[in-house]
Structures are given as C-alpha cells and as structure tokens.
C-alpha cells in the first residue's frame, strides 16, 4: 500500500494545521484546568457554538479518527477494534474510535496525546443511524449522560420550506440545551451564543467567497488545499480566531485570482470530485497535476457549509439559525434527485471537464446512487467520469494506489479526448 501526503499551494493551509494543533493542545489541558468536556460529532456542525457558549470544551471525537488516519494509524486502530468483534462493514471512523478506546491509546503513539474523556455527550443523527448507536455506546462506556438529537431525513429540498421541519428542529435543540443545563448546572448564555453564531456566519461568508472564486480560470486553489478547510470551519467555528483565519484565506485566494495564479502552473482540465477523500493519502489530488488537471469543486465541504443558503441565516435568531444549519447541511441527507441536481449545477458553474465518482466504503451513505450518477453524468452532462472508485476514507488497508492511479490515467485520457471534440 502506497500513500501520499498532499503538496499544498496555499500558505493558509499551514495556518490551518497550526490552528488544529493549538486546538488539540488546549483540549489536552482542559482536564487539568477543571473544564467540562463534551464529545460531539463533526456532523453536529454549529452545535459546537452551543457548548462553547456554556463554557464547555467541545471535542469532535470522529474528527480525531481522520487525524489518526492522516497520521497512518487508521489501519492499526481498525484491526484492534475488529479483534474485539467490531465488523469490517461498520463505518471506519467508528472502528478507529473503538480501536483507540480498546487499547490503541495505550499501545500506539496517538496524535496530540489522545483525547480527554468526556463529562457529557451530545449527538446529532447526522446522515446515518450509526452515530446515535455510536454515541449511546460511548455514553455507556464512560458512564456519562448522552443526548441524541434525532432529526428526520429530508426527501427533497422542497421539504425545507415546510415550517413543521423547522419547528421540530428548534424543539429538539431547545431540549438539547435543557439537557446540557440540567447535567452541568450551567445556564445557556444566549448573548455569547449569538456572538459565536455571528462569527460562524462570517466564516461561512468568507469560505463561500473562496468557493466562488474557484470558478475562475485558472482555479486558485485545488482540493488538496480546500478539503482540509472543513476542520477549522467545524472544530473552531464561531471563534474570533477562526473568523480571522477565513478572512486571511479569502484574501490569499483573492490575490491569486487577481494575479491569475492557479493551483498549478498550467491548467488544462477542471475536475469535480464526489464526497470524501482518502484522508491517509490526500496526495491523491496532486496526482491529477501531472495531467495539468486540478480539482475545482468537491461535494464534501457542502456538508458543513450551506453553500447555496448562507443568506437565510440570522445569528440574532440563534435557535432558528442552529435548526437551519442542521436542516440544510449534509448533502447525503437529500434524495438522489436533488443531490444530482446540485452536482449538475456545480459541473456547469465550475466549467468541469470530468467527474471523479467515489463509493466510500467506510461511510456508506455518500456512495448511494453513484452508479446512477455515472450514467447521468455521461448521458446528460456529456463529460467523462471515472468508473465508481471504491475508496475507504480512513481505513487504508484496502487502498490499491496502483489500481486507482491506473483508473485515473484512463479517465484523464477520456477527458483529453473529450476536450478535443
């Protein structure tokens, strides 16, 4: 198995890595400083602003699985979990987390020294049902209170206009806040929550500017830089430091656009990528550069940043803001038709020459409908796409670098031929 680190073009990517190191260092000190710690998943998105408003430290346990994978520990941690009876068919984020808890944190050199144990846990059902079971298991394991926010799937974007969906989401968020107040003895500081949400909203706006500037030719930033921007957007969302970071990112990308500096020296082909990358080998995207190709849009960041709906959010109405974020985000929650339409629009907006389609083995929902996507991309968009590539996002053991690159080689030949026609 061969994995490759990403070579990045943006200076801001280095700043992002430094912010994340600082975050994990602060989390490690939180226990020593007597602070309360809440474990929650990255899919909970803006709920991190809620716990911060109550002076509780948010720890995104599933993101740590991504960190472990990037540090080439994913396979070993999955093996530890599987030896304890966890099936290989389960989410690899989950298996890495279980491997960490089932002995990995004692036997392996864990990044940033590991995670502080939780005092309380909250979970949003995310795009799959596993998260509720996962967090309930964590609650029993640590013998700590856990609250699962069960939100419904939205079958189409038209249903977002149904006021009952928004009312239901607001009700569940109120219950979550009451749960936190009851079990921590702290009251929600709504002024602080509004301040956090103003910061998150501003970060979204800066990131949306970055995404829109990527429509330029040449594209100023490729997937090797953009995929990692989800981390500060979620892990540090709402903090003043994050707002400053995304302003700096926006300014750097804007300067590149003004000076016509692309992600690569000579851009010939523009590629779109479906959903999760292999976190243990983000250098996958750099491989496209040998063909003078750059990945100009990815579906994954839209899970955490409502790319088409930012203006609908009002931080001065915090409960509605939180409900809408959880309602509008997470593309895999949408029906196949609406998801495809969003993809179709991105292909047109970003002037894509080809599409890379992935069946994510370690996170099954994003892979739903990929075969249908492949047919419709070819027939309706008239551009080449890869065969659906089987890639696990965090477990590298089944990743065949030579095979994947061979398929990318064949795909790029089709892109080149299509471009000539």
Q: How confident is the model over 272-328, as pLDDT tens digits?
A: 998 889 999 999 999 999 999 999 999 888 777 766 667 778 999 999 999 888 777
What secondary structure does DSSP assign to 279-323, as a single string? GGGGGGTGGGGGGTEEEEEESGGGGTS-TTTGGG--TTSHHHHHH
Distance from C-alpha of 180 to C-alpha of 51, rounded to nearest angstrom: 8
DSSP assignment of 347-413:
HHHTT-SEEE-EEETTS-GGGTTHHHHHHHIIIII---BPPPEEE-SS-GGG--HHHHHHHHHHHHH
Domain 11-186 sits in CATH at 3.40.50.11890
pLDDT tier at 157, thresholds 50, 70, 90: low
Residue with the bigger pLDDT between 30 and 307: it is 30
Least confidently predicted of 8-17, 38-47, 121-130, 406-415: 121-130
CB count within 10 Å of CB 258 equals 11
The H-or-E segment that residue 37 falls in is strand 37-40
Structural tokens at position 238: 């709402």
Domain boundaries, the chain: 11-186
- Which of 163, 167, 225, 239 minimizes the C-alpha distance to 196? 239
Query: What pLDDT score was predicted for residue 331?
Result: 55
Residue 370: other Cβ atoms inside 10 A: 20
Conformational region of residue 141, where left means phi above 0, alpha means psi within -120 to 50, and beta covers everything else = alpha
- Please determine, for residue 181, whether its predicted confidence score (pLDDT) is greater than 90: yes
Using CA atoms, how far apart are residues 9 and 265, in angstroms rounded to an integer? 11
Mean pLDDT of the residues in the chain: 90
Does the pLDDT value for residue 333 go beyond 60? no
pLDDT at 160 over 90: no
Count Cα atoms within 13 angstroms, Cβ side, for 363.
Answer: 24
CA 108 – CA 77 distance, rounded (Å): 9
**pLDDT number for residue 44:** 73
Look at the pTM and tell me if it is higher than 0.85: yes
Residue 313 is predicted with a pLDDT of: 87
Question: Which residues touch 341 (CB under 8 Å, ≥6 apart)?
Answer: none
Contacts of 194 (CB under 8 A, 6+ apart): 315, 316, 318
In this prediction, residue 156 carries a pLDDT of 64
């Amino acid at each position: 198995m061969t994995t490759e680190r990403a070579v990045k073009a943006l200076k801001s990517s280095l700043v992002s890595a430094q912010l994340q190191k600082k975050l994990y260092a602060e989390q490690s000190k939180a226990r020593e400083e007597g602070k309360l710690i809440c474990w929650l998943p990255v899919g909970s998105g803006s709920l991190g602003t809620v716990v911060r408003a109550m002076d509780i430290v948010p720890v995104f346990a599933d993101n740590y699985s991504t960190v472990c994978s990037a540090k080439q520990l994913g396979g070993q941690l999955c093996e530890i979990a599987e030896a304890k009876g966890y099936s290989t068919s389960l989410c690899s984020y989950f298996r890495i987390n279980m491997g960490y808890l089932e002995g990995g944190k004692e036997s392996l050199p864990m990044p940033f020294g590991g995670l502080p144990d939780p005092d309380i846990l909250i979970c949003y059902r995310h795009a799959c049902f596993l998260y509720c079971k996962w967090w309930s298991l964590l609650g029993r394991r640590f013998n700590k209170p856990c609250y699962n926010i069960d939100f419904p799937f939205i079958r189409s974007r038209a249903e977002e206009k149904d006021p009952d969906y928004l009312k239901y989401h607001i009700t569940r968020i109120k219950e979550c806040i009451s749960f936190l107040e009851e079990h921590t003895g702290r009251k929600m500081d709504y002024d602080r929550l509004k301040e956090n949400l103003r910061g998150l909203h501003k970060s979204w706006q800066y990131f949306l500017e970055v995404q829109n500037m990527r429509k330029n030719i040449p594209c100023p930033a490729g997937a090797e830089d953009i995929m990692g921007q989800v981390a500060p957007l979620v892990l540090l969302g709402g903090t003043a430091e994050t707002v400053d970071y995304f302003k700096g990112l926006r300014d750097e990308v804007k300067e590149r656009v003004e000076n016509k500096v692309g992600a690569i020296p000579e851009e010939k082909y523009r590629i779109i990528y479906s959903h999760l990358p292999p976190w243990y080998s983000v250098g996958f995207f750099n491989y496209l550069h040998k063909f003078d190709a750059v990945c100009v849009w990815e579906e994954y960041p839209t899970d955490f940043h409502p790319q088409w709906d930012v203006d609908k959010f009002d931080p001065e109405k915090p409960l509605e803001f939180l409900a809408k974020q959880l309602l509008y985000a997470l593309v895999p929650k949408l029906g196949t038709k609406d998801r495809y339409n969003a993809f179709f629009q991105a292909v047109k907006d970003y002037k894509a020459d080809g599409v890379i389609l992935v069946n994510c083995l370690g996170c099954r929902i994003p892979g739903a409908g990929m075969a249908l996507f492949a047919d419709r991309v070819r027939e309706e968009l008239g551009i080449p796409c890869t065969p659906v590539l089987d890639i696990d996002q965090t477990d590298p053991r089944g990743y065949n670098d030579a095979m994947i690159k061979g398929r990318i080689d064949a795909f790029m030949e089709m892109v080149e031929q299509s471009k000539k026609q």
